Amino acid sequence: MRSLLFVPGDSERKLEKGFGAGADVVIVDLEDSVAPQNKATARAVAARFIVERRGQTTSAIYVRVNDLSTGLTDDDLAALVAAKPDGIMLPKSNSGQDVQHLSAKLRVREAENGLPDGSIRILPIITETPTGILAAATYAGASARLAGLTWGAEDLSAAIGARSTRDEQGRYTDVFRHARLTTILAAGAAEVAAIDTVFPNFRDMAAFATECAEAERDGFTGKMAIHPDQVPVINAAFTPSAEAVEQSAAIVAAFEAVGNPGVVGIDGKMYDRPHLRLAERLLARARAAGISA
């Protein structure tokens, strides 16, 4: 999951484009990009589109449902689980308990639709409410369905009354840096992927590339997109470079060559178990991107 492209669920034109955009995941949105009066239409359009076109895309398909407090989630699941999505994105998740709540709902829908128990994954957005940020540690061990953790700034901004998420230089202000960092740490604790949030200025590719590079540096393994033009930039940023793959392979080989000890020296530099773990993680990401060492 390097690139995850949001596509409004009520727009057949965008669904068409989104399924061909080369994203690792297409997130068919039933939530914020769909007006309240269009929810029913979006469910019908999205479900039919997924059923008809899923064989024609290489992207995994997730559906962002409306959050558990809206009273809309059950109707979303009733309409969309029949289309057999790979996962459900849960917005405004308040804790690991919300993931368990959604998991219980999915178990019922999977049984109704003849799908294996646990086959549909869950990707929660964990920072859209202040409660969600404070409960970030509860995602560890919450559910085997957990595919990763991601974060959002706009709903949090509305919830706390922050007038802006960024300063004059375009950098996140303290509260939003905290939310971003919390997501990385909570994902690490839960041993799942950390996915960075969207960048709204979809014409500013230079700033977007910088934000992708910083996210990759800090431990995110993917990023969400709102426009198809952002997808190749994300895929490039989160695909390990040939140099990094070669270096990681050399570290793993050096440990294996001497019976997997605690520490080795390569070209005059010390490498111990954390370096080995980091190298193994990078090689796993490279394999997932179709690159072999």
**Which residues contact ligand 1VU by CB under 6 A?**
5-8, 13-14, 17-18, 29, 32-33, 125, 152, 197-198, 202, 226-228
Per-residue tokens: 183:
């997501």
Least separation in angstroms between CB 4 and ligand 1VU: 10
Instruction: Tell me how far apart the alpha carbons of residues 215 and 209 are, in angstroms, rounded to a whole number.
Output: 10
Least separation in angstroms between CB 135 and ligand 1VU: 18
Our CB check for ligand 1VU shows the closer of 179 and 192 to be 179
Least separation in angstroms between CB 231 and ligand 1VU: 9
Our CB check for ligand 1VU shows the closer of 5 and 120 to be 5
Nearest to 28, CA basis, from 70, 72, 59 = 59
Per-residue tokens: 94:
């308040």
For 291, residues 6+ apart whose C-beta sits below 8 A from its C-beta are: 239, 240, 242, 245
Our CB check for ligand 1VU shows the closer of 198 and 282 to be 198
Least separation in angstroms between CB 49 and ligand 1VU: 12
Our CB check for ligand 1VU shows the closer of 69 and 113 to be 69
Least separation in angstroms between CB 159 and ligand 1VU: 13
Single-letter amino acid code for the residue at 168: E
Our CB check for ligand 1VU shows the closer of 198 and 251 to be 198
Our CB check for ligand 1VU shows the closer of 29 and 67 to be 29
Per-residue tokens: 122:
């869950």
Our CB check for ligand 1VU shows the closer of 66 and 197 to be 197
Least separation in angstroms between CB 134 and ligand 1VU: 19
Inter-residue contact 60 to 26 (CB < 8 Å): yes
Least separation in angstroms between CB 245 and ligand 1VU: 31
